[in-house]
Structures are given as structure tokens and as C-alpha cells.
């Protein structure tokens, strides 16, 4: 009989300020946020940047299966559920209390046909799973802002194995952590150096992207797709593209992984 999963030992707290509802794990550290008047929008800058993977593929390409590890305030899932109606979404969350809070306070969609919620350790789930995903988003932290096994080379290799051939993994990292560069090195090693880290947001979050097969997108294509995404979803990633240019992350006016 499998060992019963024990949820993390931290409280789940909710706060509100200036029309924004926040999720905390027993501290002032923000684990997620939702603007109450616009629940489908992405309130925090790093969550918007995590959606930049949508610029890496033609708008006509529809991801069929998306995996999110770490539910938080359900920001990413609300956005994906609303704007990618053709996609089946799987969320793996280790703490059932986080799921309950997301349902009560953060408008977690209720749709068993399109959205599957799994209570499990994200690393264990990937190791056991045999399916493939078009995108894997990793946004799992504990109360002390640690990723644990979600920042190991074994985990990144499992991400590689569970990606579809043209799939993309997206990881939220903390750029100001002393172990940040080691995290980036582990990700790059697992993906044969096909990874890029976007410049840190003001919050200190740095979003990394990696893929199984080589990917190249021109600056012109990025701008065109950003305009289409803004029109269809309201999400404006043009400032992200400008930041990449300023940090010389687009050599030859191309994004290459």
C-alpha cells in the first residue's frame, strides 16, 4: 500500500489590499495574487512572464496537454482555462488546503472535463507519469521560498522525458537566491543546454524556459505573436521582448534555445 502523502506543515492565509487578494503560507511572502475585479488577468509580473512560452510557437498551434506543478492562487490556471479552451489542464499540488483556498477565494474553475487536480508531490508525479505534455509549468515553493526536489537535476530530466517532442518547460526561479546559478546550470544540463533565463522581474523572480528540440524565433515573429496575444487575451508581452533586447538576450534579433 503506497505511503500516504503528508502535506507541508504551514498555515494558509489570505489578505486583501487595494482590490487585490493575496495568498500566503504563514508569512508576508506572497505566494499568489488575484485582482478581484479582474480575476482572469495575471496580476503578478512573473506570472505574465511565465506565459511568454506562447510566443515561442505559431498562434495556429494549439497545445493539447498542459501540466502545472504548484497551484498557488490559481492565477496561471485561470488564465490558461479562459484563453486556451482547447487544452486539457492538469494541476499537481502537494497541499490539499491550497486547493481548498483556491476554490473558496481565488475562483479556481470547476470543470472535471478540462481540468484535473492531483494532490501529490510534483517530483513524484512526474516520475510516475507516463504521458507527455506540450508544456510543463513549474511554480512550486514552500513557506520559506524553497523549491526542494523541484529544483533537482533528476526532476529536470523527468521534465525532459515527459515533454512532447516540441514541448516547452517553464520554471519560476528566484534570481536573487544564492543558489540561482546552480539551478540554471542543472536545468541547462538536463536539456542539453537548450534553455534560456529571462532577466529577473522587479520581484526577483527569474523565469527559465527549456525545450527538447532546438527552437528559434525571430524578433519580428515574437513581436507579431505578442500583438496577436494582446488582441486575443489582453496579455501584453511586448515589454518582455523589450527587456530581452536591452539585456542582449536576442543575438542577431533571434531567440534561440
Query: Which residues belong to the active site?
Result: 139
The cell numbers describing 7, all together, are 502535506
- Using an 8 Å Cβ cutoff, are 125 and 118 in contact? yes
- Using an 8 Å Cβ cutoff, are 67 and 128 in contact? no
Residue 77 CA to residue 80 CA, distance in Å, equals 5
CA angle 136, 183, 63 (to 5 degrees): 15
With cell 482547447, the residue in question is 86
With CA atoms as reference, report the closest residue to 164 among 135, 126, 187: 135
With cell 476554490, the residue in question is 103
Amino acid at each position: 500500500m503506497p505511503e500516504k502523502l503528508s502535506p507541508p506543515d504551514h498555515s494558509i492565509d489570505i489578505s486583501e489590499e487595494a482590490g487585490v487578494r493575496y495568498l500566503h503560507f504563514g508569512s508576508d511572502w506572497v505566494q499568489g495574487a488575484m485582482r478581484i475585479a479582474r480575476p482572469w488577468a495575471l496580476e503578478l509580473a512573473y506570472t505574465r512572464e511565465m506565459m511568454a512560452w506562447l510566443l515561442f510557437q505559431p498562434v495556429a498551434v494549439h497545445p493539447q496537454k498542459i501540466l502545472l506543478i504548484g497551484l498557488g492562487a490559481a492565477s496561471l490556471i485561470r488564465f490558461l482555462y479562459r484563453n486556451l479552451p482547447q487544452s486539457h489542464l492538469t494541476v499537481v499540488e502537494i497541499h490539499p488546503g491550497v486547493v481548498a483556498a483556491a476554490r473558496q477565494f481565488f475562483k479556481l474553475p470547476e470543470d472535471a472535463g478540462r481540468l484535473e487536480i492531483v494532490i501529490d508531490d510534483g517530483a513524484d508525479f512526474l516520475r510516475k507519469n507516463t504521458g507527455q505534455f506540450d508544456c510543463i509549468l513549474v511554480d512550486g515553493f514552500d513557506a520559506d521560498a524553497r523549491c526542494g526536489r523541484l529544483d533537482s537535476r533528476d526532476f529536470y530530466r523527468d521534465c525532459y522525458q515527459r515533454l512532447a517532442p516540441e514541448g516547452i518547460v517553464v520554471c519560476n526561479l528566484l534570481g536573487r537566491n544564492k543558489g540561482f546559478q546552480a539551478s540554471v546550470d542543472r536545468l541547462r544540463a538536463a536539456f542539453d543546454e537548450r534553455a534560456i533565463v529571462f532577466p529577473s522581474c522587479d520581484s526577483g523572480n527569474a523565469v527559465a524556459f527549456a525545450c527538447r528540440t532546438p527552437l528559434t524565433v525571430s524578433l519580428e515573429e515574437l513581436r507579431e505573436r505578442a500583438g496577436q496575444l494582446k488582441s486575443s487575451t489582453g496579455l501584453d508581452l511586448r515589454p518582455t521582448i523589450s527587456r530581452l533586447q536591452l539585456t542582449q538576450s536576442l543575438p542577431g534579433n533571434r531567440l534561440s534555445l
